[in-house]
């Protein structure tokens, strides 16, 4: 099957020719007619299979030129980086089409985005939080939305956007087409579909949780953090094989800690990205990694969501994610567009349960490799790995009977005051000899005469 079989228009064919694309991916071929028909649709496909083009090709084909100010197509994505990426993909397809595309996300000046919206647009790509802020401010009108696309919906729910999504559904027109794409089908996603979609048609290219066949997976059992660092340094020293490497960790603190440990060895080859970094820093790090200025990018799970970076040779999971769906998103950063990719998982003893959940989701075992003899095994532990000391029989520890009671006590005699009522003013007057009636300068004189 080729794109010619999809009966696109000439501007889209010209754009695809410029991009060098001739054959649609399975999800693009299967989803095209469903999206074009106007039905609600749920698309399940592994990450890296071209889901953005799968929904944008049929939408752009039927999007007529209009001069209205309010957007007609809304695309919701979970992260700022994904907003930038989706806008770029739409602009590539819209090279020969006269439409207006805008991306909005948090962490930047909202007033600048309000001005851009006021100039008019056709397609809006947004993160849920910033979209709702703009809608509440009344600058953005959603009454003209005809098509709603939610990309990476499972990730969006994992990040806690459920209530914001429900609020957005409430202010959108009831008559609209809903299109949803996801790499995994979770229970939360299923609930969302049942509540807000009208008899959606499901287009599934693979069983939820099936890894791409072109990704070679392996794993190591490693005792602790510093041994993981030693193993990682050993692997990354092979610059010819590990030429473009994404290293994933679960938390921001761990990302900074790992960056400091690797910075001693790789200096200019290394960059780090997580949600505490400024937006410009995050975009610059991605661009430097994409262009090959940095060979190694340390990132948190948030960065695993839909990022499309070509020719990533390896994805290294420095820790094992608690949720197996996160593992699927991580390894999907390599082996994109049917290229070969390699994924490596590092797991401590505590993380073995998470490994079992990942293997159960994929219905396959990840091959286990032995740590090379040249890698030194460290006995040093970080704070999270040290055993917690429980003081069960501490003689100096107070029992509940020794806990002080409420803070109540009798006042000392000098602190006790008697409410003298009206006579209190006279007592003060005797002591200080000052008028206590406002404006009465002769008050004390009269008292003296008495």
pLDDT tens track for 112-142: 999 999 999 999 999 999 999 999 998 999 9
Same domain, 159 and 93: yes
Same domain, 162 and 276: no
- Residue whose entry in the numeric block shows the structure tokens 């957007």: 71
From CA 25, how far away is CA 31, in angstroms rounded? 10
Structure tokens at 102: 């805008």
Residue 131 · residue 71 · CB < 8 Å: no
Of 200-204, 312-316, 416-420, which range is least confident? 416-420
Same domain, 185 and 300: no
Asked if the structure places residue 46 within a domain, the reply is yes
Q: What is the pLDDT of residue 107?
A: 83
Of 115-119, 143-147, 181-185, 204-208, which range is least confident? 204-208
Q: With bands split at pLDDT 50, 70 and 90, how would you rate the model's confidence at 396?
A: low
Q: What's the 3-state SS for 392-415?
A: CCCCCCCCHHHCCCCCCCCCCHHH
pTM (2 decimals)? 0.72
> Mean of the pLDDT values across residues 237-264?
93
Q: With bands split at pLDDT 50, 70 and 90, how would you rate the model's confidence at 329?
A: confident
pLDDT at 399 over 70: no
Same domain, 257 and 365: yes
Cα 275–Cα 171–Cα 151 angle in degrees, nearest 5: 45
* Half-sphere exposure of residue 335: CA atoms within 13 angstroms, side-chain side: 19
Q: Helices 10-19 & 80-93, crossing angle to 10 degrees?
A: 120
> Mean of the pLDDT values across residues 265-292?
88
Same domain, 239 and 172: no
Cα 293–Cα 308–Cα 225 angle in degrees, nearest 5: 70
Same domain, 129 and 60: yes
Residue 246 · residue 232 · CB < 8 Å: no
Asked if the structure places residue 25 within a domain, the reply is yes
> Which of residues 376, 406, 425 is at a domain's end?
376
φ, ψ of residue 123 to 5 degrees: the values are -125, 125
Domain count, the chain: 2
Q: Which domain holds residue 230?
A: 215-376
Q: What is the pLDDT of residue 340?
A: 86
Q: What is the pLDDT of residue 430?
A: 66
> Which of residues 376, 396, 413 is at a domain's end?
376
CATH number at residue 157: 3.40.50.300
* Half-sphere exposure of residue 366: CA atoms within 13 angstroms, side-chain side: 31
pLDDT at 395 over 80: no
pLDDT at 450 over 70: no
Asked if the structure places residue 394 within a domain, the reply is no
pLDDT at 197 over 70: yes
pLDDT at 27 over 80: yes
Asked if the structure places residue 392 within a domain, the reply is no
Asked if the structure places residue 64 within a domain, the reply is yes
Asked if the structure places residue 331 within a domain, the reply is yes
Cβ atoms < 10 Å from Cβ of 390: 6
Same domain, 194 and 159: yes
Q: What is the pLDDT of residue 78?
A: 87
Same domain, 235 and 356: yes
Asked if the structure places residue 231 within a domain, the reply is yes
Asked if the structure places residue 191 within a domain, the reply is yes
> Which of residues 344, 376, 408 is at a domain's end?
376
Same domain, 168 and 287: no
Same domain, 182 and 124: yes
> Which residues have CB under 8 Å from 7's CB, separation 6+?
none
Q: What is the pLDDT of residue 81?
A: 86
Alpha carbon separation from 365 to 2, 358, 361, 394 (Å, rounded): 36, 9, 10, 46
| Per-chain mean pLDDT for the chain | 85
> Mean of the pLDDT values across residues 323-334?
84
Q: What is the pLDDT of residue 73?
A: 97
């Amino acid at each position: 099957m080729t794109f010619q079989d999809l009966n696109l228009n000439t501007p889209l064919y010209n754009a695809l020719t410029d991009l060098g694309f001739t054959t649609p991916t399975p999800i693009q071929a299967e989803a095209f007619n469903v999206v074009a028909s106007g039905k609600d649709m749920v698309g399940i496909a592994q990450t890296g299979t071209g889901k953005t083009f799968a929904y944008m090709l049929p939408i752009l084909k039927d999007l007529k030129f209009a001069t209205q100010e309010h957007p007609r197509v809304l695309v919701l994505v979970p992260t700022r980086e994904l907003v930038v990426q989706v806008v770029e993909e739409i602009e590539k397809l819209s090279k020969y089409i006269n439409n207006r595309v805008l991306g909005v996300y948090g962490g930047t000046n909202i007033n600048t985005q309000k001005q851009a919206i006021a100039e008019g647009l056709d397609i809006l790509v947004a993160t849920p939080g910033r979209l709702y802020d703009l809608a509440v401010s009344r600058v953005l009108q959603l009454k003209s939305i005809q098509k709603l696309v939610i990309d990476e919906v499972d990730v969006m729910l994992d990040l806690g956007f459920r209530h914001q999504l429900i609020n957005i559904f409430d202010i959108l027109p009831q008559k609209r087409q809903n299109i949803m794409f996801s790499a995994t089908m979770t229970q939360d996603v299923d609930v969302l579909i049942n509540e807000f979609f009208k008899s959606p048609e499901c287009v599934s290219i693979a069983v939820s949780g099936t890894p791409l066949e072109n990704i070679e997976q392996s794993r190591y059992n490693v005792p602790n953090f510093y041994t993981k660092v030693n193993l990682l340094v050993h692997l990354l020293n092979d610059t010819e094989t590990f030429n473009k490497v994404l290293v994933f960790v679960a938390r921001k603190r761990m990302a900074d800690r790992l960056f400091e440990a690797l910075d001693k060895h790789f200096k200019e080859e290394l960059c780090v990205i997580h949600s505490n970094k400024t937006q410009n820093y995050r975009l610059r790090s991605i661009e430097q990694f994409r262009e090959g200025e940095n060979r190694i990018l340390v990132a948190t799970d948030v960065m695993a969501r839909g990022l499309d970076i070509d020719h990533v040779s390896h994805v290294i999971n420095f820790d094992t994610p608690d949720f197996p769906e996160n593992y699927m998103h991580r390894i999907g950063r390599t082996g994109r567009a049917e290229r070969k990719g390699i994924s490596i998982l590092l797991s401590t003893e505590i993380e073995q349960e998470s490994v079992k959940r990942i293997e159960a989701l994929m219905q396959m075992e990840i091959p286990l490799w032995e740590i090379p003899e040249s890698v030194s095994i460290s006995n040093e532990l970080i704070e999270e790995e040290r055993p917690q000391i429980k003081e069960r029989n501490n003689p100096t520890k107070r029992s509940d009977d020794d806990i002080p009671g409420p803070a109540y006590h009798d006042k000392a005699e000098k602190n006790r005051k008697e409410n003298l009522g009206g006579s209190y003013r006279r007592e003060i007057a005797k002591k200080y000899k000052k008028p206590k009636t406002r404006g009465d300068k002769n008050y004390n004189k009269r008292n003296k005469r008495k």
